[in-house]
Amino acid sequence: MTRRLSYREAMREAMREALQNDPRVFLMGEDVGRYGGTYAFSKGFLDEFGPERIRDTPLSELGFVGAGIGAALGGLRPIVEVMTVNFSLLALDQIVNSAALLRHMSGGQFPVPLVIRMCTGAGRQLAAQHSHSFEGWYAHIPGIKVLAPATIEDARGMLAPALADPDPVVIFEHCGLFNVEGELPDNGDDCAVDIASAKVRRAGKDVAIITYGGCLPKALAAAETLAQDGISAEVLDLRVLRPLDDAAIAAAVAKCRRVVVVDENWKSGGLAAEIVARIVEHAFFELDAPVARVCAEEVPIPYAKHLEEAALPQPDKIVAAVKGLFA
């Protein structure tokens, strides 16, 4: 039996289960308590679990992410919610110079089992300071694991293994997915997913579209359009951005021989560039055409809706990139 719920509800259910099952787990961040979370992920949690485990924090990302690191070092399992990825830059010192390094610098004596959740991406007309995608920046950092759940299944199932990981895990939840609905098993135990591998979301044979996060629905829509023109597109959802699943990427290249990488990051120095480099290094002779990229335009994300849409990867841009490989 299955039930229908939204991405937001799936993540909320995963957090609630974690809080119920492990007394070491607690949630902290701006407005997660009495307000119920900026995006309503923790609505009702304060009444259910109390202020010791649902902690509203001051408006200081540097401070409360640091407090989460300290709690993890002390044996707890904190879930730290950062309102938006743009604001996480205020906590980069704690994430990059503390959380990511302490286990290594202590010779394995001090693991940091910390989960940091943050909203990422554009599409809601919130202008540049609330709309960027910095997943590629975080995927550059050794010592952390970077996840990008793009489906209801992953929103529900990735949190538990992330909390069990001895190293810091950063989860990027794309704002455009929060109201997307899907089917999940009635039994929560059947919702477990791994946090190590990519997953094929649509099988195909003519071209591989490699993507993640908020671009996955756009890639699937493009694949549907391409199918009407006789082009069979395989859609690979990376899901895990650090470490990348090199084997899955290589398998998609070998199978389809043409590749388009879709990434809401900017093209210059972005995650798409890393993926293309790995394909060229390890699977160059499998290619029948150069690898194409569809990324955000090299501008701060605009506020105006038509400009915001124009700045982002869209299904028609993906279709055009794919067809360009067959020209």
Q: Which two tokens stand for residue 167?
A: 């190293």
Average pLDDT over residues 212-231: 98
Catalytic site residue 61? yes
CA distances from 102 to 95, 143, 174 (A): 10, 9, 28
Is the domain spanning 199-324 CATH 3.40.50.920? The answer is yes
Distance separating alpha carbons of residues 173 and 149, to the nearest angstrom: 6
Are 24 and 75 in contact, with CB atoms under 8 Å apart? yes
Q: Exactly one of 30, 61, 135, 234 is catalytic; which is it?
A: 61
Confidence (pLDDT) at 310: 97
Task: Give the confidence band of 188 by pLDDT, cuts at 50, 70, 90.
Answer: low
pLDDT in tens, 77-95: 999 999 999 999 999 999 9
pLDDT in tens, 245-292: 999 999 999 999 999 999 999 999 999 999 999 999 999 999 999 999
The CATH homologous superfamily to which domain 2-191 belongs is: Thiamin diphosphate (ThDP)-binding fold, Pyr/PP domains (3.40.50.970)
Of 224, 241, 286, the residue nearest 133 (C-alpha)? 241
- Tell me the average pLDDT of the chain: 96
Fold equal for 2-191 and 199-324: yes
pLDDT in tens, 307-326: 999 999 999 999 999 999 99
User: What pairs with residue 213 in β-bridges?
Assistant: none
Distance separating alpha carbons of residues 235 and 1, to the nearest angstrom: 27
Confidence (pLDDT) at 187: 73
Confidence (pLDDT) at 185: 86
Confidence (pLDDT) at 2: 87
Distance separating alpha carbons of residues 73 and 192, to the nearest angstrom: 26
Domain ranges of the chain: 2-191, 199-324
Distance separating alpha carbons of residues 122 and 132, to the nearest angstrom: 6
User: Which H, E and C letters describe 262-306, residue by residue?
Assistant: EEEEECCCCHHHHHHHHHHHHHHHHCCCCCEEEEECCCCCCCCHH
Give residue for tokens 């793009």.
150
Are 55 and 33 in contact, with CB atoms under 8 Å apart? yes
How much of the chain, in percent, has pLDDT values that exceed 70? 99
Q: Exactly one of 9, 130, 264, 308 is catalytic; which is it?
A: 130
User: What pairs with residue 116 in β-bridges?
Assistant: 80, 170
Average pLDDT over residues 18-44: 96
Task: Give the confidence band of 189 by pLDDT, cuts at 50, 70, 90.
Answer: low
